[in-house]
Amino acid sequence: MIDQNQFLAQMQEILEIEDRTLSPDEKFRELPEWSSLAYLSTIAMIDDEYNVIISAADFRELQTLGDIVRAISERQ
Amino acid sequence: MATQHIQNVTVRGIASAVPKRILEVRDSKSFPSVEEAEKFIAAVGVERVRRHLGTMCCSDMCQASAEKLMVELDWKPEDIDMLIFLSQSMDYILPATACVLHGKMGLRKDCACFDIGLGCSGWPYGLSVACGMMQSGGFRRVLLLMGDAKDNLSTPEKILEAEAKVIPLFGAAGTATALEYDSPAAPMMIDTCTDGTGYEAIIRREGAGRHPFKEDSLEYVVDEFGQTHRRIDTTMDGAAVFVFGISQVPRAVKGMLQRTGQSVDDVDYFLFHQANLMMNEQIRKKCKIPLEKCPYSLRDFGNNSSASIPLTMVTQIREQLTNGAPHKIIACGFGVGLSWGTVSLTLQNCLIPPLIEME
């Protein structure tokens, strides 16, 4: 089972966000810290931590951090 | 299943040539800030690439590599039974670059020459075709040439302009692998795979049949991934390629280990196409390969498409490979196509001249 809070903490680390806490409703693409490198780091982290690889086409459909959590749990 | 067992071909030599000119990634004007440049270098792992200013084609570097090997192996032009040029940087749209090279190198008329239009998966794929044809014993000495040199559509001024706009990741290199029919030889196993549904992941959209060259093909555009390029340049959906690499390559390597009855410990070197550091490291970790078995040429040469694997041998482990001992190798090339190939082979007494640098 994926722990949502743990995932949010992992995303904060990738995005180097220290001054605030990310919420599941966060539209990650709108964050100034989001970039193509952050995207690749996210795919790699999900692969490492949850043993799941989300295809680029499926990832494109995801809007919020909560959507990513759901996508991971559907594939576990 | 597309798997070959080769029992009677030996790799006699491997050579690589690159342009002498070095482009430092840190100095590139394509980054908005020094911070961005450092971030890119840390993630992608490329610090410098070799580029020419329109002064050479891929085939020139391949020819220099091949002729160097021929001198050292004492192979005469009349000894060559087949020359394969595997590249997507050809001299002309037609004729085949292999034919051009045949004429320039003075090869016999009863010599098979043809091109293969593949990129990053080239070394295993080229070996597959060459060794497959050599099985009959009808081709004894074969030159397998491959590499990448960017397009030459530009003048030196235009190339400098492009370098200032496009983040450098790709380098230029031409390589030669000399193969000889040899019975019995150390066994080789080759797997060749494709996923054509991903053909758009790495693509040069304009300039050929589907979308011919037109007036605005040379204009710079910013694509949906935020990259600046012209429609005649190679473009990449980085995320799609990343997902492809980390999904398929570990599977391919593990499959090869299983089929050849080897463990990671049994293999001396795992040679991967040099895509980018993040992807290659993710692949290495997933395969549980220690870093010392996984040489990188990425930092000093960037991504050189089909040349990456031979270039890594020449520039990173040449001394080890030429110490007389047998070296077990698994090499996996993956990328444009999408296409990937994996080969397991043993190199012993393989001749590897030092890197050739061309003006």
Checking if the pLDDT of B62 tops 90, the result is yes
Provide the pLDDT confidence category of residue B151 given band limits of 50, 70 and 90: low
Q: A64 — contact with chain B (CB < 8 Å)?
A: no
Which residues on neighbouring strands pair with residue B346, listed in sequence order? B328
Provide the pLDDT confidence category of residue B30 given band limits of 50, 70 and 90: confident
CB contact under 8 A, A47 and B239: no
Distance from CA of B240 to the nearest CA of A (A): 5
Using a CB-CB cut-off of 8 Å, the residues of chain B touching A15 are none
Distance from CA of B49 to the nearest CA of A (A): 20
A54, closest residue in chain B (CA to CA):
B243
CB contact under 8 A, B225 and A44: no
Answer for the pair B167, B23: CB distance below 8 angstroms, yes or no: no
Checking if the pLDDT of B21 tops 90, the result is yes
Locate the domains of chain A by residue range.
4-75
Report the run of H or E that residue B107 belongs to, with start and end: none
Q: Which residue among A44, A55, A57 places its CB closest to the CB of B282? A: A44
More confident residue, B183 or A70: A70
pLDDT value at position B164? 83
Checking if the pLDDT of B320 tops 70, the result is yes
Kindly state the average pLDDT of the residues B179-197: 95
Kindly state the average pLDDT of the residues B297-308: 98
In percent, the amount of chain B with pLDDT more than 70 equals: 99
- In a mutagenesis test of the B interface, which of A40, A51, A59 is the best target, namely the one with the most B β-carbons within 10 Å? A40
B225-234 pLDDT, tens digit per residue, is: 777 888 888 8
Kindly state the average pLDDT of the residues B27-32: 87
Using a CB-CB cut-off of 8 Å, the residues of chain B touching A39 are 238-239
CA dist list (Å): B224 to A36, B76, B229, B354: 11, 51, 11, 42
Checking if the pLDDT of B150 tops 80, the result is no
8-state DSSP, B30:
T
Phi-psi region of A37 (alpha: psi -120 to 50; beta: other; left: phi over 0): alpha
Query: What is residue B320's three-state secondary structure?
Result: helix
CB contact under 8 A, B226 and A59: no
Q: Which residue among A36, A43, A59 places its CB closest to the CB of B226? A: A36
Domains of chain B: 1-201+237-359 (3.40.47.10)
Using a CB-CB cut-off of 8 Å, the residues of chain B touching A40 are 43, 238-239, 242, 278-279
b or e along A7-28 (b: 16 or more beta carbons within 10 Å of the residue's beta carbon)? bbebbbebbeeeeeebeeebeb
8-state DSSP, B27:
G
Residue B343: both structure tokens together? 């080969």
B162: nearest Cα among B149, B173, B151, B178: B151
CATH architecture of A4-75: Orthogonal Bundle (1.10)
Checking if the pLDDT of B357 tops 80, the result is yes
Average pLDDT, chain B: 94
To the nearest 10 degrees (0 to 180), the angle between helices A36-50 and A65-75 is 40
Kindly state the average pLDDT of the residues B74-98: 97
pTM of the predicted protein model:
0.94
Checking if the pLDDT of B302 tops 90, the result is yes
- Sheet arrangement for strand B327-335: B3-6, B188-194, B339-347, B327-335, B269-272
B260-292 pLDDT, tens digit per residue, is: 999 999 999 999 999 999 999 999 999 999 999
Distance from CA of A22 to the nearest CA of B (A): 23
- Please give the ipTM for the structure prediction: 0.85
pLDDT value at position B152? 56
Contact pairs from chain A to chain B, CB under 8 Å: 44
Answer for the pair B180, B119: CB distance below 8 angstroms, yes or no: no
pLDDT value at position B13? 98
CB contact under 8 A, B246 and A56: no
Provide the pLDDT confidence category of residue B159 given band limits of 50, 70 and 90: confident
Residue B316: both structure tokens together? 């990173």
Kindly state the average pLDDT of the residues B109-117: 98
pLDDT value at position B312? 98
